[in-house]
Chain A
Amino acid sequence: MRWLDKLRVRNEMLFRRRRAADQLDDELRFHVEQQVAENIAAGMGVEEARHAALRAFGNPAALRDQARETWSWSSIESLLRDARIAARTLGRSPGFALTAVGIIALGIGANVALFTVVRSVLLKPLPFRDPARLIMVYEHVNDKEHTGFHAYLPVAAGSFGEWKKAVGSGVAELALVSPWQNYNVSAEGGKLPERVDAGMCSWNFFGTLGVAPALGRGFTAVDNKPDAEATVILTSTFWKRRYSNDPAVIGRKVWLDAKPYTIIGVLPSWFTYSSAFGGNTIQIWTPVAHEAPPSLMQTFDDHEFLAVARLAPGVTQSTLISQLDTVQKRIKANHPGAAVREGVIGRPLLDDVVEDYKTPLYTLLAATGCVLFIACLNVASLLVARTAARSKEMAIRAALGGGRLRLLRERMMESLLLSVAGGATGLLLAWGAVEWLIHTRQDMNRIEAIHIDSVVIAFTVGAIVLCALFSGLISAMGSDGRRILAALQESSRTHSGGQSRAVLRKAMLVVEVGITVVLLVGAGLLLKSYQRLRMTDLGIPVDNVLTMHVSLPDARYKDDTKRVAFFEQLIEGVRALPGLKSAGLVSTAPGQGWGGDEVVSVVEHPPQPKGVGLDLMNRGVDPGYFSAIGIPLVKGRAFAANERLDRANVVVISQAAAKLCFPDGEDPIGRHIKIGTTGKTYEIVGVVGDVRWLISQPPNPTMYIPLYGNDYSHATVVVHSDRDVEGLALPIEKLIGGLDSDLPVSNVITLRETIGRSTADSQFSSVLVLAFAVIALVLAAAGLYGVLAYLITQRTTEIGIRIALGSGRDQVMGLMLTDGLRPALYGLVVGLGASALVTRLLESMLYETKALDAWVFAAVSLLLLAVAAVACLLPSWRASRVDPMQALKAE
């Protein structure tokens, strides 16, 4: 029953503490009364008896405290008391408290937001069953060009088939996926036609990931055959959007590319497939062997797929990769084509999905870490200044017997209160920041996984405690309780007050300025890189250019004649529209992606050794394309109007392609190019300027063949206008609707927007790092100002004496200025040194910018010195205005 007694006592101590305290007083009073009574009985006088009793009793306050200390909850009680005292002290200087809370809120908020993103995107396991066993398998070429990102090359279905045969399910389950497909969804039931991103996959793909459809069934081996009935699985978003969550959709037909498909399943709403090659925009899934032509499923040199593997228990990634590598080497030996790759490489699925975000996100996290550190230093610096101001009070308390630990605890309580308030505000800030990020970065893989959860809350608490300990301890270090006498003496003469504390604050400033310099340099480099990226020449004018994409379904456009007729009608109609300067057709517009490549050979040249070939990007264009979009014709001519259908065997190559194919400077005009996969030969009729396929990538050697013919079934309309080109979108869409009402138009976007999208990453990180650097700069400037202002107040008497003895006011100002600028200079040197080491880590994020860019380093140095000078100018000027009489009288 002891626990019951204890519980009762605890309960009483918690809820009836005041009464317990009264009772304690009464109990002690009773004791004294008894003693008095006894003394009187022993013959003392009343007064004497009372005094003797009290003497024997000792200090009643101390006794009461000792008894109370044995009570339960007493540690919490004293904590609360400290908190009350600290809150009251802070309340007396609300300016200081608000500043400190604001600084900490910024620091903690930024950190929590970035931690949330890093944890959700980079660290949290993928939401699949046993995700650590999932890896992505790629083909690989072992040379200098194919390193880093370019080491991971898509897979040919033929190779995949061989891999699967060689590796049993005892080693790994292999699944094939092609996440970059599209379908035209037909207009039906009053809905508009639309073009959706789609994925093709082997029937075991969802099983391999460990995902079961939320509705209906998954694919089976039967569905994944060329002659099977056409089937499709919908993602949850598509199902919600197009079928408003109707469960009866299973078994119904949907028309894709003008052919009927049976809907057999709907995926769970949490499911998103993403990879280094995209996938997170996929809306519908189809079985690959039913969709792709059988020849594509057999070939070793057309790389249209990705491979996912689930390792069997006990099998490591390297075991599987080395087995597959052996198979691939055998394939290369048997089929020595130029486009057949010689090796296999793999990485965990999670790495594959988030590899691109690692450097930027960790960079940002490091930047926010620096900001928090500076924030802590600033708050510590503010606390040190307060301690200095309260040094007399502290000394008196210590002299009267206030325990050192007790005083320290009070100081810590102050910084804890500030940190808790700052952290709570920071959490709100972080929540806002995360919402903003989710809104602005929809393109990011795993953006759907970002949530503030319990781990994030725990991180916030950790950050708060760390912040409190750090700033509290630093400020406590500044006040040395053993020097009570010194402090009390110092209070009588103020001439060289608090020098030691100033040394500490100056050291903190050096660190602060150093970190600020690192942040500024990082921001400068990223910004310069972003600027370079934005200023990169795509190869054509990009203002007032609009593009939109159409794709003709094979089912209704069965042969080239029909397709060419459509394209010619389309471009004629577009060119007739008012307000338009020029228009052209191209399979994939500049800056809008890879768009396909072919390995070719020059017919007139001696055959290349086996396994070697010339890789050219491949574009289909209409005869007016080059002049319409502004690609300069360097040599020869563009296509003629009659070079179409069976006469479409002419080719125009880019300058880079000319250099690649004719390295000796021989005239390409009149030579012939043979495409490896189709075996077709084309006569070179012209050479044109280079354009980029992606703004951040150098121009690839490219060949252009007539779009009219050559089996092209899709085209991008490129429209150039003098002004307000967006206004042309609707008329063109109407025109297309008039030609074929069931044809969706997709990717309606200007070239400017295209570039904006592909530079969003760079913009995002450079702007954010810049923001953090600016915050750091402001904090550092505030720190410089604060320390110098404090020092000058301490030295007012000295300055007064100097001026009274004839020192010039300029001289005084100069003296103070150098004193204040010294930590900034040291910090600058430290910061530049650290930057030189650290910016190397940024290299992968930089575009045409060196990590040790002299211009950026110089600019940062100048900026920092200027800001530091401004921060020090005001207090120095004030020092020079000191009235010597006043200063000396104040003593």
Chain B
Amino acid sequence: MGKPSDLVQGTLDLLILKTLSTEARHGWAIAKRIQQISGEVLQVQQGSLYPALHRLEQQGWIKAKWGESETGRQAKFYSLTAAGRAQLEKETASWERLSGAINLIVQEG
């Protein structure tokens, strides 16, 4: 089972932005979504998730809005801002460059 430290440093922001690129979600849903898509490999701990969400919000990459959840309770929904979308593209590109490079080394020989 993956622990938060297994997340490559600095990729949590990328994962959150990517998760939010399709629709607005609350914190719980973001964690669940990352877990599902990664086939249960990546588990985001609350201890990292909420500070990260708040930091991204302070930086203006995402914005929050209170809305009704599936169960009818008020929840805080996060969505990407225009700047966040640009940031996502930038981080994706840089991630691809980095992972490509790592792949090259790992697969050599």
Contacts and interface: CB of A to CB of B under 8 A. Distances in A.
B104 to A, nearest CB: 34
B9 interface: no
Given A27-B75, A27-B76, A57 B51 contact: no
Given A2-B81, A69-B51, A23 B46 contact: no
Contact of A66 (B50, B73, B76): B50
Contacts of B28: 30-31, 34-35
A70 B58 contact: yes
Given A28-B50, A30-B75, A62-B47, 18 more contacts: A1-B81, A1-B82, A1-B83, A2-B82, A2-B83, A5-B63, A5-B81, A5-B83, A6-B58, A6-B60, A23-B76, A27-B50, A31-B27, A33-B73, A67-B51, A70-B55, A70-B58, A71-B54
A2 B58 CA distance: 10
Contacts of B73: 30, 33
Contact of B27 (A27, A56, A69): A27
Interface in A10-55: 10, 13, 23-24, 26-28, 30-31, 33-35, 37
A63 interface: yes
Contacts of B38: none
Contact of A70 (B26, B54, B63, B75): B54
B57 A66 contact: no
A67 B71 CA distance: 25
Interface of A: 1-3, 5-6, 9-10, 13, 23-24, 26-28, 30-31, 33-35, 37, 56-58, 62-63, 66-72
A26 to B, nearest CB: 7
Nearest to B75: A30
Contact of B71 (A5, A13, A35, A37): A37
Contacts of B63: 5
Nearest to A13: B58
Contacts of A23: 66, 76
Interface string B40-74: 00000111001101110111100100100101011
Nearest to B70: A34
Contacts of B57: 9
Q: Which 8 A-B pairs have the closest CB atoms?
A: A2-B83, A5-B60, A70-B55, A34-B28, A6-B60, A2-B60, A70-B54, A67-B50
Contacts of A3: 60
Interface residues of B, number: 26
Contacts of A26: 74, 76
B50 A71 contact: no
A63 to B, nearest CB: 6
Contacts of A27: 26-27, 50, 75-76
Nearest to B86: A2
Contacts of A62: 47
A479 to B, nearest CB: 32
Contacts of A56: 46
A71 B54 CA distance: 7
Contacts of A67: 50-51, 53-54
A28 B58 CA distance: 18
Contacts of B26: 27, 30
Contacts of A71: 54, 58
Interface in B27-41: 27-28
Contacts of B50: 24, 27-28, 31, 63, 66-67
A23 B81 CA distance: 21
Nearest to B81: A5
A56 B47 CA distance: 10
A777 B51 CA distance: 56
Q: Which of B53, B55, B57 has the most CB of A within 10 A?
A: B57
Nearest to A5: B60
Nearest to A66: B51
Contacts of A6: 58-60
Contacts of A70: 51, 54-55, 58
A63 B60 contact: no
Contacts of A28: 46, 50
Q: Which of A1, A6, A27, A63 has the most CB of B within 10 A?
A: A27
Contact of A30 (B51, B76, B82, B83): B76
A46 to B, nearest CB: 16
A12 to B, nearest CB: 10
A736 B47 CA distance: 98
A9 B63 CA distance: 9
Contacts of B51: 63, 66-67, 69-70
B47 A66 contact: yes
A27 B74 CA distance: 9
29 contacts: A2-B60, A2-B82, A2-B83, A5-B63, A5-B83, A6-B58, A9-B60, A10-B58, A23-B76, A27-B26, A27-B27, A27-B50, A30-B69, A30-B74, A30-B75, A31-B28, A31-B46, A35-B28, A58-B47, A62-B47, A63-B46, A63-B51, A66-B47, A67-B50, A67-B54, A70-B58, A71-B54, A71-B58, A72-B58
